[in-house]
């Protein structure tokens, strides 16, 4: 799913880009790929159990929330999937609201451009923290492994899709964002304007933003006029690998 979505989004934005990119594309892509590999390696070495395996073990026990109630399998899958996506929404909100977490998360937002590779640009500390909390929630909720697998596949696809430098026809985009996050919706979250950054926190489903009042339909300057990234991070050195890794400590 990861490779398929990457290929589709990369081809799509190559031939039909939404916006012109400002930074050195090749250098950005290389550094984003390396920081993604570092985060992936950190997760593999520290969290040797995958989310699906953790869900399988938890659902076989008797301590998780969904193992204590007699519900049909399909209902438990739906509840587990929604609760885990809500958790990710909450995590994302806290990364912006808590200063020490924002220092880590701003590595993702300091990208001066916005394309598929932005979905790889997460500091290894954020990857470790996010995955650790996620695995803990899986053990506590004990959703069926199928629900976790479904969310993992959806997240792999949506992560590249929402960060792609593409635009959907307006009539499709308006309808699609009722059920899933779209590139135009998430791009607003990467605006330089702080009020716009603090909106559209959803990961896969858009309903939590509407429910908790963090949904923003359009940026003030429009999609074409909106500035991307963070103030003070537009210098070419800011896309360097060392700069990305030390940024939370500066």
Q: What is the DSSP string of 53-114?
A: HHHHHHHHSS-SGGGSS---HHHHHHHHHHHHHHHHHHHHHHHHHSHHHHHHHHHHHT-SS-
Given pLDDT bands bounded at 50, 70 and 90, which one contains residue 67? confident
The DSSP secondary structure of 222-244, one letter per residue, reads HHHHPPBS-TT--SGGGGSHHHH
* Residue 131, in any domain of the structure: yes
Determine, yes or no, domain membership for 39.
yes
Q: Which of 57-71, 158-172, 190-204 has the lowest mean pLDDT?
A: 57-71
- Mean pLDDT on 44-73: 85
Task: Residue 197: count other Cβ atoms within 10 Å of its Cβ.
Answer: 19
| Number of domain units in the chain | 1
Residue 12 belongs to a domain: no
Decide if 8 is inside a domain: no
| Residue 118 located in a structural domain | yes
- Number of Cβ within 10 Å of residue 136's Cβ equals 12
pLDDT band at 14 (very low <50, low <70, confident <90, very high): confident
Residue 57 covered by a domain: yes
Q: Which of 192, 172, 194, 198 is nearest to 184 (CA)?
A: 172
Asked if residue 65 is part of any domain, the answer here is: yes
What pLDDT band is residue 23 in, cutting at 50, 70 and 90?
A: low
Cβ(166)–Cβ(9) below 8 Å: yes
Q: For the residues 90-98, what does the mean pLDDT come to?
A: 97
Q: How confident is the model at residue 21 (pLDDT cuts 50, 70, 90)?
A: confident
Domain of residue 168: give its range.
24-238
- Interatomic CA distance for residues 2 and 202, integer angstroms: 19
Q: Does pLDDT of 140 surpass 80? A: yes
67 burial via Cβ count (<10 Å: 0-12, 13-18, 19+)? middle
Distance in angstroms (rounded) separating the CA atoms of residues 15 and 13: 6
* pLDDT tens column, 34-45: 999 999 888 888
- Is 116 a domain residue? yes
Torsion of CA 99, 104, 105, 109, to 10 degrees: 100
14 strand-pairing partners: none
pLDDT of 47 over the 90 cut? no
- Residue 64 — pLDDT band, cuts 50, 70, 90? confident
pTM: 0.91
208-228 pLDDT, tens digit per residue, is 999 999 999 999 988 888 999
For the residues 7-14, what does the mean pLDDT come to? 88
């Amino acid at each position: 799913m990861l490779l398929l979505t990457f290929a589709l989004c990369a081809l799509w934005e190559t031939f039909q880009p939404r916006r012109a990119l400002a930074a050195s594309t090749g250098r950005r892509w290389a550094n984003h790929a390396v920081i993604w590999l570092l985060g992936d390696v950190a997760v593999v070495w520290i969290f040797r159990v995958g989310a699906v395996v953790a869900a399988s073990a938890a659902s076989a026990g008797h301590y998780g929330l969904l193992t204590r109630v007699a519900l049909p399998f399909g209902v438990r899958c739906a509840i587990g999937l929604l609760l885990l996506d809500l958790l990710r929404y909450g995590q994302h909100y806290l990364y912006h609201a808590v200063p020490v977490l924002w220092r880590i998360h701003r590595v993702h937002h300091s990208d001066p451009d916005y394309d598929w590779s932005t979905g790889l640009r997460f500091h290894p500390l954020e990857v470790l923290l996010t995955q650790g909390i996620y695995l803990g929630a899986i053990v506590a909720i004990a959703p069926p492994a199928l629900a976790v697998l479904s969310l993992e596949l959806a997240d792999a696809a949506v992560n590249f899709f929402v960060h792609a430098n593409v635009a959907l026809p307006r009539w499709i985009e308006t309808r699609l964002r009722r059920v899933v996050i779209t590139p135009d919706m998430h791009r607003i979250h990467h605006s330089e304007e702080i009020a716009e950054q603090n909106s559209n926190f959803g990961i896969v489903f858009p309903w939590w933003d509407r429910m908790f009042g963090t949904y923003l339909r359009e940026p003030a300057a429009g999609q074409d006029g909106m500035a991307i990234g963070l103030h003070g991070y537009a210098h070419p050195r800011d896309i360097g690998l060392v700069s990305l890794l030390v940024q939370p400590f500066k």
